[in-house]
Amino acid sequence: MCGIVGYLGYKAIAPLLVESLRTLEYRGYDSSGIAVYNNGTQNINIYKATGKLQNLVEVLPADLLMEPPIKNLQVGIGHIRWATHGAPTVENAHPHHGHHGEVVLVHNGIIENFAELKQVLQGKGYVFNSQTDTETVAHLLEDILKSHQHDFLPAVAELRRQLHGAYALTMMHKQAPGKLYVARQQAPLVIGVGNQGEYWVASDVVALVSYTNQIIYLEDGQYAELSEEGGVKLFGPDNTPVEVKIHTIQTGPLTIDKKGYKHFMLKEIYEQPDVVRNALLERITSDTSPVFIANDTPVSEKESVSIASLSQDVDRVIIIGCGTSYNAGMVAKYLIEELVRIPVEVEAAGEYRYRNPVLNDRCLVIAISQSGETADTLEALRLAIRSGAKTIALTNRPDSTMAREVGGVINVRAGVEVSVCATKSFVAQIVALYLLGIMMCEHRGVAEKLAELPELKKALLTLPVLMEAMLSNVDPLQKLARKYGHYTSMLFIARGVCFPAALEGALKLKEISYIHAEGYSGAELKHGPIALLDESMPVVSLLSDGAVFDKMLSNCQEAKARSAQMISVTNKAIPHGYENTFDDIISYPACHEWVAPLLGSIPLQLLSYYTAEFLGKDVDQPRNLAKSVTVE
Ligand code: F6R
């Protein structure tokens, strides 16, 4: 969701804030803004614009973009917005200021009691200029400051007492020009530490890695004051001082670069062979057991935790996730149940967290999250931790909140994923889950299943080469996108372990091309969705060689009999007798049945990509979406 940055130091502040925001642009892009303390006028100046970050750059005064002429301390904050309360307008863009301009702040999250607070503040004469919940925080803080003799830290403590909901706040106080204040409650926030009293703030470490590798992770309920002379004064939820722990992170500066591709999504689709290689590297060979190596996580206390020990002595596996991560979990369910012979439930985290699920220490809960910050998955994971279940976070961000709170971490190693529409992380998540399944199978020693493992391992190891072959010929998918791009609705069907890949294929298409699409099991078609079928609704069928191939062929026949345009994505020749069933056939290489969803997903990703591109959509920044959903 929205991105926050802050800086206190001697560098030219506006370019620095803008560049840091640029690294977070993929997380929200409705509008943006910065606030900078002006040493001359002793005011806090705010600049905002709607739309892309470039629009903000265009409204910044030229002198702000230049090096400061004298060695003056620079203090400022910035924000890139994904609208929750109020449309994406300049008024609603952050930073927001209080009634008297004493306080300026940026916020990620949702203040649940903002309406009540606003009513009280309006009663006191505070005038609101926006529809946001955030402006309430700015006015409220000013109101509290009045009764705290402008002493900011006790005011923040009182503010925290009055706010309900989720927030990461970075705040400036006109009367404390050399200071930044931060507070965290259920929304990520980190502090970067530089040399000699230089500090950065960000909602994601990605925004800081170009400047420092010294990171302080704020925990829920913590707040802090940052200043050159006083350093970091950190306080816990009970308002007592907390010892500051600085983590040295491994990641070097990140180059967020399309490397010649038209979009990040296309680049990330093409990265998948290397992503799979990396996911398997040092973890598996054709005749060794998977190992999840200690340096998978930079969080040192986790390094001794063995994934192997966590996955032993369990009777049930519960996988939680949202969106694409949920779909990856669905693929793994088929494999783990087959190989390990224990029940696997896959749960949408947003529902799970509000149930009263049956959990105990014989359950292994695996939270899947590319970002490691998705609010629903994080809360479902916390529920599992409280219930005494064994917990693993399978994430692309081993520095994330989930990774820091959980029993064990599996790094999916996909590399930074910039495209809002997830592709490479889906594939990497499935590979990591398969390794976990293989490892659990070997530990539990289900004899007849053990015999199947060498073939499966080989299949995983040959995946990158097969993927490369597939990615070398994308013309048929470009043609398909042009042929079907004008339809307004599509169905994706598959069965068995490929069924979740059909769900994912439909999710990809609707996300970036805004074409209505649904994924179904081929078996479910005749229980309702078939009523939708006629010549106006194409059906994409993922047909993979294996136990359900013939069943799927019958389901495709049933759809064709209703005049649907039939597109087959298949790794097996279509048998005689079915020549007229399909209008278009996309072939992909023959492969082991278990890896078919990994290979079969590639044509579906490309179909979505080329359709969105053909329709002229903003592929990397689709409307209404954000990369990391840190609010409920
Ligand atoms: C789809 C997509 C989303 C995410 C979902 C969960 O392309 O990206 O559906 O998969 O928001 O995000 P993470 O995996 O970060 O928890």
Q: Tell me, what CATH number does 434's domain have?
A: 3.40.50.10490
Residue 483, exposed/middle/buried by CB under 10 A (0-12, 13-18, 19+)?
middle
Q: What is the pLDDT of residue 68?
A: 67
| pLDDT tier at 296, thresholds 50, 70, 90 | very low
Q: 143 in a domain, yes or no?
A: yes
Confidence of residue 442 (pLDDT cuts 50, 70, 90): confident
Residues above pLDDT 70, as percent of the chain: 95
pLDDT at 70 over 70: no
Told to judge if 591 belongs to the known catalytic residues of this protein, a careful annotator would answer: no
Same domain, 481 and 442: no
Q: Are residues 560 and 445 in the same domain?
A: no
Which structural domain range is residue 25 located in?
3-248
Pocket test for ligand 1, best of 204, 268, 320, 324 (most atoms within 8 A of CB): 324
- Write out residues with Cβ below 6 Å of ligand 1: 322-325, 369-371, 374, 377, 421-422, 507, 511, 628-629
Question: Over 60: is that where the pLDDT of 297 sits?
Answer: no
Asked whether residue 35 falls in the same domain as residue 140, the answer is yes
* Domain-terminating residue out of 248, 281, 297: 248
- Domain contains 424: yes
Distance of CA 325 to the CA centre of its chain: 9
Per-residue model confidence (pLDDT) at position 298: 37
User: Quick one: 462 and 477 in the same domain?
Assistant: no
Tokens 């079907």 -> residue: 484
Taking the CB of residue 95, how many other CB atoms lie within 10 A of it?
27
Distance 508 CA to ligand 1 centre (A): 11
- Quick one: 25 and 60 in the same domain? yes
CATH of the domain at 206: 3.60.20.10
Spacing of C-alpha 402 from chain mean position: 12
Q: Are residues 31 and 123 in the same domain?
A: yes
Output the residue whose Cα is nearest ligand 1's atom 11. 323
pLDDT of 76 strictly over 60 = yes
Residue 343 lies in a domain: yes
In a mutational test of the pocket of ligand 1, which residue from 263, 325, 377, 381 has the highest number of ligand atoms less than 8 Å from its CB?
325
Per-residue confidence at 425, pLDDT binned at 50, 70, 90?
very high
The model carries a pTM of: 0.88
pLDDT exceeds 90 at position 553: yes
Query: Residues 477, 587: one domain?
Result: yes
Q: What pLDDT does 251 receive?
A: 64
Burial of 447 (0-12, 13-18, 19+ CB in 10 A): exposed
Q: Whose CA is closest to atom 5 on ligand 1?
A: 323
Cα(329) to ligand 1 centroid in Å equals: 12
Same domain, 462 and 478: no
* Same domain for 552 and 519: yes
Atom of ligand 1 nearest to the CA of 627: 8
Is residue 256 in a domain?
Answer: no
Bigger pLDDT: 368 or 284?
368
Residue 259 lies in a domain: no
Assess if residue 632 is contained within a domain: no
Alpha-carbon distances of 371 from 29, 33, 188, 456, 627, rounded to whole Å = 17, 24, 11, 28, 8
| pLDDT above 80: residue 98 | yes
pLDDT tens digit string along 169-213? Answer: 999 999 999 999 999 999 999 999 998 789 999 999 989 988 999
The answer as to whether 626 is a domain residue is no
231-243: buried (b, 16+ CB within 10 Å) or exposed (e) per residue? ebbbbeeeeeebe
Q: With bands split at pLDDT 50, 70 and 90, how would you rate the model's confidence at 448?
A: confident
The domain tally of the chain equals 3
Mutate to test the pocket of ligand 1, among 203, 370, 421, 504 (most ligand atoms within 8 A of CB): 370
In the reported structure, the alpha carbon of residue 523 is separated from the centroid of ligand 1 by a whole-number distance in angstroms of 27
Q: How far is the CA of 420 from the centre of ligand 1 (A)?
A: 8
pLDDT digits (tens, 9 = 90+) for 454-493: 999 999 999 999 999 999 999 999 999 999 999 999 999 9
Is there a single domain that holds both residue 128 and residue 241? Answer: yes
Range picked from 62-71, 245-254, 342-351 for highest mean pLDDT: 342-351
User: Would you say residue 146 lies in a domain?
Assistant: yes
Are 418 and 564 contained in the same domain?
no
Same domain, 287 and 358: yes
